[in-house]
Every structure is written in structure tokens, then in C-alpha cells.
Amino acid sequence: MSRYSRITGTGSYLPPHQVTNANLVTQLAAKGIETSDDWIVERSGISARHFAADGVFSSDLALEACKSALQAAHRQPQDIDLIIVATSTPDMVFPSTACILQAKLGASGGAAFDVQAVCSGFVYALTVADALIKSGTARCALVVGAEIFSRILDFNDRSTCVLFGDGAGAVVLEASDTPGILSSDLHADGNHVDLLCVPGHVCGGAVSGKPLLQMAGQSVFKLAVGVLETAARAVLEKAGKTEADIDWLIPHQANIRIMQSTAKKLKLAMDKVIVTVGEHGNTSAASIPLALDHGVRNGQIRPGQTLLLEGVGGGFTWGAVLLNF
């Protein structure tokens, strides 16, 4: 009998402190930096985002998302034999945020590691977990996206600091006799490292370089629109499906205009796209599982539906996963 992997529960968590565009406009104005709610909404679709409090780490946000996903899957931490955390804002240089999360969950013994593919991280992590389950290496996995991007934002750069937020999302992915994940498609082009990066590193006990996010927004935008269409078509083809089979598109939540453009290219109405960017901002690796859990909990996404998840981000990385929910 073939062995597949299937999502059996979803969860997510946003830190309680919501920062509206109006809050940011006031904060930036105090430094002489001009922005407006109109500009942010019109260019990105973002109205608000959440920022984690001092002393809270990505593993803390991940823990809350995982507790909720485990409850939805009727699983206990002891059932978990694999944890993959997609993050670009780990708690420490090492060990991995996944190991720290494992300890906080009280689920020791299984494999645990992080995946670093920036905003494509969750799609990468889900693909790796699927492969480990299909190969028989793991049986019940937690796949998580968790980020605290507020700590790597340059609040003197109005073109980036208004776009990102903090949060976490998680799924329980289990071995199954029936197909859940149908196909995956992952890519990277390291020639575009400079387009979107945090060019800092730790050296001799100090931070060297500039450990704050910088992005060539327009170039990223153009690349994103092209690769998201290609990745979507690739997973559909691999699974022998067409755009008409998609019940929900759950794209990385970076910019409403990128999502609208992708939907148009795939001939999907926007009412088939889960959109959370307005209230969450861009939460990088956390954005897809946050949007997925949002859609599940508000009743939009139902069991048996076909979901297309896709992400694009720094690296340059991109990818998609097609699945039966």
C-alpha cells in the first residue's frame, strides 16, 4: 500500500500587540519620516500587523500555534516524531528554534531542525516533511512557520518597515493511506541574494554588517509575479490537475497586488484566494500557515478541498504545494 502524508490539524498565533498603519504613521513622523495609511493600503493592502513583546521569541509564538494544531489533530506532543520550523528569525544562532520548541512542547526524542528559505520557508518545510513521512522516516510531524520580523526591520526605511509583522502558524502532518499532499515544486536562484536580505552576521562576539532587512521592492515584485505562476502550473501538472480543480489558493501574504496578479494569471476569482495580509502584514514563513488556519477556522476551507499553497522570498526562493485537505 502506498504511503502518503496528510494535514490533520492546523493552528496559528499572533502576538497580542496590534500595530495599525495609524500607529506607524505617528511613530515614523516622530523621526521626521513621512508615510500614510493611504500609501501603505494602496501599495500593499496592509492595514495592520502584530509585533511581539520584548523577551518573546519565535519559539514562543510557534509553541502557541503548535498547541492549537495538536488540539485540532487530537494529538499529544508525545505523538510527534518530527518538528520542522521554517524561520529567518531564529531564537539563537544555534541550536535550532525547532529544538527549543521541542523542549517547550515536552516532545523529546524525534528529529527537529529549522529550514531557512525566508518567505518560501513553509512550502519548503512542508515538502521536506512530506518526503520524510513518505519514506517512512517519520510518521507524525509538526511543520511550523514562525517569525519575529519586527526585530530585523529598519525603522528608518519607510519602504520596508511598514510591510512586515510577527506571528506563527503550524500544521500536524501525518502518514496516511490516502493522498493529502499531491505534489510539490521548489526552486531557488542565488544570483538574486542582494534583492532581499539581512546582510549581517555574528563575528568575534559582535554583529558585523547591517542586520536589518533591505529589499529592492520593485524587482522583487516583478520576479514574484512570474515565479508564482510557474510554480502553480508546475504542481498542477505534476498532479494531473488544472486551475479549475483549485478550491483555494493560499499564497504567501506579501502584497495584495501580487496575489491579485497571480490569481488573474491562474484565472481564479479573488473569492478563491485566502487573504490575510490586511490584518497580518507580511509574516514571512508564518504567512501561509497563518492564512491556512484562518481559512480553516472561519469555515472557508473544508475537508476534501484542493488547496494550492505557494510562496516566494529572499534567496531568491519560491515554491508551491498542492494538497487535498
If the CB atoms of residues 179 and 217 are measured against ligand ACO, the closer one turns out to be 217
State which of positions 206-225 bind ligand ACO (CB under 6 A). 217-218, 220-221, 224
DSSP string, 62-128: HHHHHHHHHHHHT--GGG--EEEEE-SS-SSSSS-HHHHHHHHHT-TTSEEEEE--GGGHHHHHHHH
Q: Which residue has 477556522 as its cell numbers? A: 297
Cβ 149 to ligand ACO shortest distance, Å: 7
What does the angle CA 170 – CA 162 – CA 296 come to, to the nearest 5 degrees? 25
Query: How does 81-98 read in b/e, with b if 16+ C-beta sit within 10 Å?
Result: bbbbbbbbbbbeeeebbb
Contacting residue, 43, 139, 187, 272, with ligand ACO by CB under 6 A: 43
Contacting residue, 12, 21, 44, 324, with ligand ACO by CB under 6 A: 44
First to last CA, the chain: 20
Where does residue 109 rank: exposed (0-12), middle (13-18), buried (19+ CB within 10 A)?
exposed
If the CB atoms of residues 72 and 196 are measured against ligand ACO, the closer one turns out to be 196
Cβ 39 to ligand ACO shortest distance, Å: 4
Contacting residue, 37, 39, 176, 229, with ligand ACO by CB under 6 A: 39
Residue 196 binds ligand ACO, judged by CB under 6 A: yes
Task: Tell me the residue length of the chain.
Answer: 325
Taking the mean position of all CA atoms in its chain, how far away is CA 219?
Answer: 21
Residues in CB range of 189: below 8 A, 6 or more apart: 315, 316
Instruction: Give the three-class secondary structure for 246.
Output: coil
Is the N-terminal amide bond of 155 cis, ω within 30° of 0? no
Cβ 266 to ligand ACO shortest distance, Å: 17
Is the N-terminal amide bond of 211 cis, ω within 30° of 0? no
| Proportion of the chain in helix, strand, coil states, percent, rounded to 5 | 40, 25, 30
Which residues are tagged catalytic?
119, 252, 282
If the CB atoms of residues 260 and 305 are measured against ligand ACO, the closer one turns out to be 260
If the CB atoms of residues 15 and 314 are measured against ligand ACO, the closer one turns out to be 314
Residue 35 binds ligand ACO, judged by CB under 6 A: yes
State which of positions 56-115 bind ligand ACO (CB under 6 A). none
If the CB atoms of residues 224 and 235 are measured against ligand ACO, the closer one turns out to be 224
- Using the contact rule CB under 6 A, the part of the chain among 59-67, 122-130, 254-262, 267-275 near ligand ACO is 254-262
Contacting residue, 59, 253, 255, 262, with ligand ACO by CB under 6 A: 255
Residue 258 binds ligand ACO, judged by CB under 6 A: yes
If the CB atoms of residues 116 and 176 are measured against ligand ACO, the closer one turns out to be 116
By beta carbon distance, the residue nearest ligand ACO is 313
State which of positions 261-320 bind ligand ACO (CB under 6 A). 282, 284, 312-314
Instruction: Please give the grid coordinates belonging to residue 105.
Output: 512542547
Interacting residues toward ligand ACO by CB under 6 A: 35, 39-40, 43-44, 118-119, 158-159, 162, 196, 217-218, 220-221, 224, 254-255, 258, 282, 284, 312-314
